[in-house]
């Protein structure tokens, strides 16, 4: 399942593409509009939607071709003749006829060119939507719900820095204990850089909280989180957002000691 927050940019593209699209044009596109009103959608649905891409884009290409043919026919006229115009699904041809009667061939052409520009914009937006759907499908299928934190540690001081092997991770009002994978103190030499990996301490976490966190990861939900690590005399925290893609495959916060 995918939370709708992962679709914000795609939603904007959807709205742009659907603003001037005939409601009866692409029947299956209606469901996509409803998708953004729901809390979550299934990857199976996205895969079905992606399979419709050739048909959807082919329909746009057919419409664009008809508009181009109409423009070519009008370009040969000195006096506007509406009988040469072919019907374009989703557009009221009477508007082109009225534009031709009042402005001649140039008036009708200007209107048709605006129609074609709109169709091209919609087609481009829909192409991006399909591409984003494929990215989300790939990201979701590859995730298993596990999460680890590869932390970069930069020591700018003149003495060694020490990081405790345990810390805390918080997201969506839920708190988890984390432990360094070696279960040892991490020593960072003076004026040097090092890395360590923290993992959720599952044995100390509630089962429902672990299930919730796993769902966040699998759903590619960009939720904010806070990771806190301890040092001898203080704690340091970093705030980031869970990644919605698999690049990088691990969340990589960075701390200065």
pLDDT digits (tens, 9 = 90+) for 167-218: 999 999 999 999 999 989 999 998 898 889 999 999 999 989 999 998 888 7
Q: What is the CATH number of the domain that holds 181?
A: 2.60.40
Report pLDDT for 38: 46
pLDDT band at residue 157 under the 50/70/90 scheme: confident
* 187 in the same domain as 99: no
For the chain, give the mean pLDDT. 78
> Residue 51 and residue 30: Cα distance in Å, rounded?
16
* 237 in the same domain as 180: yes
Final residue belonging to a domain, choices 103, 118, 142 = 142
Q: Which range in 16-30, 110-124, 214-228 is most confidently predicted, on average pLDDT? A: 110-124
Contact 152, 248 (CB under 8 A): no
* 99 in the same domain as 7: yes
pLDDT digits (tens, 9 = 90+) for 35-53: 544 435 556 566 767 777 8
Residue range 74-85: average pLDDT? 91
Buried b (16+ CB within 10 A) or exposed e, 167-197: bbbebeebebebbbeeeeebebeeeeebebe
Is 235 or 19 the better-scoring residue by pLDDT?
A: 235
* 188 in the same domain as 115: no
Final residue belonging to a domain, choices 142, 162, 177 = 142
* 251 in the same domain as 237: yes
**What domain range includes position 153?**
148-256
Final residue belonging to a domain, choices 121, 142, 163 = 142
Report pLDDT for 124: 85
**pTM (two decimals):** 0.48
Is 43 or 14 the better-scoring residue by pLDDT?
A: 43
* 169 in the same domain as 43: no
Report pLDDT for 27: 40
Tokens of 254: 């960075």
Report pLDDT for 53: 81
* 109 in the same domain as 42: yes
Residue with tokens 């984390």: 178
* 192 in the same domain as 136: no
Residue range 42-65: average pLDDT? 78
HEC letters along 47-106: HHHHHCHHHHHHHHHHHHHHHHHHHHHHHCCCCCCHHHCCCCCCCCHHHHHHHHHHHHHH
* 171 in the same domain as 104: no
* 189 in the same domain as 135: no
* 155 in the same domain as 136: no
Residues 6+ apart with CB under 8 A from 203: none
pLDDT at 15 over 50: no
Tally of structural domains, the chain: 2
Tokens of 136: 């989300």
* 121 in the same domain as 15: yes
């Amino acid at each position: 399942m995918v939370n709708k927050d992962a679709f914000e940019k795609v939603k904007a593209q959807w709205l742009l593409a659907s603003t001037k699209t005939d409601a009866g044009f692409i029947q299956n596109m209606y469901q996509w509009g409803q998708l953004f009103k729901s809390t979550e959608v299934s990857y199976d649905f996205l895969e079905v939607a992606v399979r419709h891409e050739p048909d959807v884009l082919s329909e746009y290409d057919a419409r664009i071709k008809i508009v181009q043919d109409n423009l070519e026919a009008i370009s040969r006229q000195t006096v506007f003749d509406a009988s040469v115009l072919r019907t374009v699904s989703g557009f009221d041809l009477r508007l082109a006829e009225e534009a031709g009667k009042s402005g001649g061939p140039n008036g009708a052409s200007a209107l048709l060119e605006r129609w074609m520009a709109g169709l091209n914009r919609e087609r481009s937006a829909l192409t991006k939507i399909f591409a984003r759907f494929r990215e989300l499908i790939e990201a979701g299928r590859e995730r298993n719900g596990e999460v680890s934190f590869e932390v970069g540690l930069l020591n700018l001081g003149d003495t060694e820095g020490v990081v405790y092997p345990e810390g805390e991770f918080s997201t969506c009002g839920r708190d988890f204990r984390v432990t360094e994978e070696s279960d040892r103190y991490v020593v960072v030499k003076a004026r040097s850089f090092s890395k360590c990996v923290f993992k959720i301490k599952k044995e100390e976490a509630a089962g429902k909280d672990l299930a919730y966190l796993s769902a966040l990861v699998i759903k590619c939900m960009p939720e904010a989180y806070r990771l806190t690590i301890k040092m001898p005399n203080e704690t340091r925290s970093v705030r980031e957002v869970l990644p919605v893609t698999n690049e990088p495959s691990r969340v990589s916060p960075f701390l200065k000691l």
